[in-house]
Amino acid sequence: MNAIVEAKRLTKSYGSFTAVNDVSFTIEANKIYGLLGRNGAGKTTIMHLITAQLFASGGELLVFGEEPFENNKVLKQTCFIKESQKYPDTFRVKDVLETAAILFPNWDAGFAERLVADFNLPLKRRVKKLSRGMLSSVGIIIGLASRAPLTIFDEPYLGLDAVARNIFYERLMEDYSEHPRTVILSTHLIDEVSRLLEHVIVIDGGKIMLDEEADSLRGRAYTVSGPVAKIESYMAGKQVIHQESLGGFKSVTLFERLGVTEQKQAEALGLQFAPVTIQQLIVYLTNRGPEQKGVLR
């Protein structure tokens, strides 16, 4: 196992507010990670900490086995694309890309050029005058063409239309298979990216809620529906993360693996199954009241 990022009891607090609370996780080499969670969950803070743009209040954080702060060996291998990236007012798209080409050692100019064409980006226009979507594509081009061994995208496609987002996914996958690297992708559009993700980390309230392989996560929960009485008896003793009823019918989402015994039991009761997408699962998990937010088994 080759750990690219190792966080141990990482904490970041602002006065009395704790944005990241005692978080430990490991990011392994050459995988695509999804860092998911609601707004204000602490995702962006974690990504800023990994790139030493923010300073941790406590805990330990190693990137490529070293502390990232003022460490060129780490930073030169890292590219962090964030939605809030600032660009100098006077810079044109061309200036930004040329500067990125100078600063990232693995920059592929040909690839950047193709991406500019893909996204229809006007090279001579000032970055300040770009639309929100175009601004996002500038970040995406830097993130892809820099080919950094650790590439982090924080909400990379604000304002991008579905076509452009698809271009991003396609180019990312193509380039990733040719030049494997570690990618951390943070986004709210979980359904769209779930097929790309190999590992999912869910953050909620500054804490890690889930840290699992995407494949295993897909079988982690399921929904059953049927008459209220039967459902009630079936769900007893199981971990319910969501429920809704309509008339005499009830449907519950259970955070359980569907084993053979349960399946037989449910079939005997005449209940219906449905799979739960990663997006639904995360919505249910992060949308629960505080009293329900126990540790997940």
**Interface residues toward other proteins, by CB under 8 A:** 48, 51-55, 70-72, 75-76, 78-80, 82, 85-91, 95, 98-100, 102-104, 142, 148
- Shortest separation between residue 102's beta carbon and other proteins, angstroms: 4
Closer residue to other proteins, CB minimum distance, 76 or 188: 76
Looking at the DSSP assignment, which residues form a beta bridge with residue 266?
A: none
CB 208 within 8 A of CB 37: no
Q: What is the C-alpha to C-alpha distance for residues 179 and 32, in angstroms, rounded to an integer?
A: 13
Q: Minimum CB separation from other proteins for residue 62, in Å?
A: 17
CA 98, CA 14: separation in Å to the nearest integer? 36
Q: Minimal distance in Å, beta carbon 229 to other proteins?
A: 57
Q: Could you tell me the smallest distance in angstroms from the CB atom of residue 284 to other proteins?
A: 34
**Residues 59 and 11 sit within 8 Å (Cβ to Cβ):** yes
Contact 241, 285 (CB under 8 A): yes
Task: Tell me how far, at minimum, the Cβ of 208 lies from other proteins, in Å.
Answer: 23
CB of 34 within 8 A of CB of 185?
A: yes
Task: Look up residue 288 and give its amino acid.
Answer: R
Q: Which position has the token pair 């990663």?
A: 278
* Cβ at position 70, least distance to other proteins in Å: 5
Cβ proximity to other proteins: between 96 and 208 the closer is: 96
Q: Which is nearer to other proteins, 8 or 128 (CB)?
A: 128
User: Given the complex with other proteins, which of 142 and 278 has the nearer CB atom?
Assistant: 142
Cα–chain center distance at 176: 16
**160 phi, psi to nearest 5 deg:** -85, 140
Torsion of CA 253, 254, 256, 258, to 10 degrees: -60
Which are the contacts of 161, defined by CB distance < 8 A and separation ≥ 6? 133
Task: Specify the residue, 26 or 106, whose C-beta has the smaller distance to other proteins.
Answer: 106
Strand partners, 117: none
Of 148 and 209, which has the nearer Cβ to other proteins? Answer: 148
Between 91 and 249, CB nearer to other proteins: 91
CB 296 within 8 A of CB 239: yes
Task: Give the C-alpha separation, 92 to 96, whole Å.
Answer: 6
How many whole angstroms from its chain centre is CA 17?
A: 23
Cβ proximity to other proteins, 70 vs 178, nearer residue: 70
Q: How far is the CB of 58 from other proteins (least distance, A)?
A: 16
Nearest approach in angstroms of CB 86 to other proteins is 4
